[in-house]
Chains A and B, each alone.
Chain A
Amino acid sequence: MLNWLHRLGSSKIFFEVSGRWQVPLLLLSVLMLTGGAAWALLFVPPDYQQGHSVRIMYIHVPAAILAQSGYVMMAGAAAVFLIWRIKLADVAVKCIAPLGASITFLALVTGAIWGKPTWGTWWVWDARLTSTLVLFFLYIGVIALRSAMERQAGAGRACAILALVGVVNLPVIKFSVEWWYTLHQPASFSLTEKPAMPVEMWLPLLVMVVAYYLFFFAIWIMRIRNEILLREKNTDWVKQWLAVR
Chain B
Amino acid sequence: MNLFIASVQRDLLVHFRHPSEVLNPLVFFIVVISLFPLGIGPEPGQLKEIAPGIVWVAALLATLMSMDSMFRSDFEDGSLEQVVLSEQSTFIFVLAKVISHWLLSGLPLVLLMPLAALLLFLSEAGIWALTLSLLLVSPTLSLLGGIGAALTVGLPRGGLLVTILVMPLYVPVLVLATAMVQAAEAGSDTIGYVYWLLAILFGSVCLAPIATAAAVNVATDQ
Chain A residues with a Cβ under 8 A of chain B: 82, 130-131, 134-135, 137-138, 140-141, 144-145, 148-149, 152-154, 157-158, 161-162, 164-166, 168-169, 172
Closest to B151 in A: A158
The answer on a CB contact under 8 Å between B221 and A154 is: yes
A161 to B216, CA, bound (A): 11
Shortest CB distance A165–B (Å): 5
Q: How large is the interface on B (under 10, 10 to 19, 20 to 34, 35 or more residues)?
A: 20 to 34
Is B40 in contact with chain A by the CB < 8 A criterion? no
The 10 closest A-B pairs by CB, nearest first: A154-B218, A137-B168, A157-B218, A141-B165, A134-B168, A138-B168, A134-B171, A165-B211, A158-B151, A158-B218
A141-B164, A161-B214, A164-B211 in contact; A148/B171 too (CB < 8 A)? no
Contacts of A154 in B (CB 8 A): 154, 218-219, 221-222
Q: Which residue numbers of B lie inside 8 Å of A, CB to CB?
A: 147, 151-152, 154-155, 158, 161, 164-165, 167-169, 171-172, 175, 211, 214-215, 218-219, 221-222
Known contacts A161-B215, A165-B211, A172-B172: A153-B165 contact under CB 8 Å: no
Contact (Cβ within 8 A) A153 B222: yes
A161 lies within 8 A of B168 (CB): no
25 CB < 8 A contacts A-B:
A130-B175, A140-B164, A144-B164, A145-B152, A148-B155, A149-B154, A149-B155, A152-B154, A153-B221, A154-B154, A154-B218, A154-B219, A154-B221, A157-B214, A158-B215, A158-B219, A161-B147, A161-B214, A161-B215, A161-B218, A166-B168, A166-B169, A168-B169, A169-B169, A169-B172
Q: Which one of A131, A152, A162 contacts B165 once the chains associate, using CB atoms below 8 Å? A: A162
Residues of A within 8 A of B155 (CB): 148-149
How far is A169 from B172 in the complex, measured between Cα atoms in Å?
9
A144 close to B165 (CB less than 8 A): yes
Q: Which residues of B contact A164 (CB under 8 A)?
A: 211
| Chain A residues whose C-beta falls within 8 Å of the C-beta of B168 in the assembled complex | 134-135, 137-138, 141, 166, 169
B164 touches A137 (CB 8 A): yes
* Distance in angstroms between the alpha carbons of A195 and B164 in the assembled complex: 38
Are A137 and B167 closer than 8 Å at their CB atoms? yes
Instruction: Determine the residue in chain B with the shortest Cβ distance to A142.
Output: B165
Query: A residues within 8 A CB of B175?
Result: 130
Contacts of A166 in B (CB 8 A): 168-169
**CB-defined contacts of B218 to chain A, threshold 8 Å:** 154, 157-158, 161
